[in-house]
Amino acid sequence: MADLVETAIAAGNFNTLIKAVKAVDFLEVLKSPGSWTLFAPTDEAFANLPEGTLDSLLQDIPKLKKIVAYHVASGDVRSDDLVQINEAETLEGSILAIESVDGKIKVNDANVIKTDILADNGVIHVIDVVLMPAMVAGK
């Protein structure tokens, strides 16, 4: 098997996420041994951000790094774990709200559209929205 980065690249629909991970020098984390859970927004999720948001984030590396870290939790949290928990702490330091209703899983406002893409050092869950930590979103 491959690590999280190689797995995401092979999936083909996380190009923008990989670009952001590289921009903030987060590759080493997602390639490191250990166990990580990556809530991965698709390229379409990034495309749905307000116009200019992504370009502005690529110019603000500290803010972008917080956003990337907000999509990663420690441990290998599979879908059967997600339905039993209601929050997960991210590497950014904030908490993600996890909700499971009628077999559908939500992470904050994002729908999990595919679960349990396994990698050597963790698992990827595909989400349809880019998650924003409160301090970045200005909430």
Question: For the domain that residue 11 is a member of, what is the CATH number?
Answer: 2.30.180.10
Whether residue 105 contacts residue 83, with contact meaning beta carbons closer than 8 Å, is answered with yes
Distance CA 102, CA 63 (A): 35
Model confidence pLDDT, tens digit, residues 44-96: 999 999 999 999 999 999 999 999 999 999 999 999 999 999 999 999 999 99
Residue 98 above 50 pLDDT? yes
Query: What whole-number distance in Å separates Cα of residue 17 and Cα of residue 33?
Result: 20
pTM (2 decimals)? 0.95
Quote the domain boundaries for residue 50.
4-137
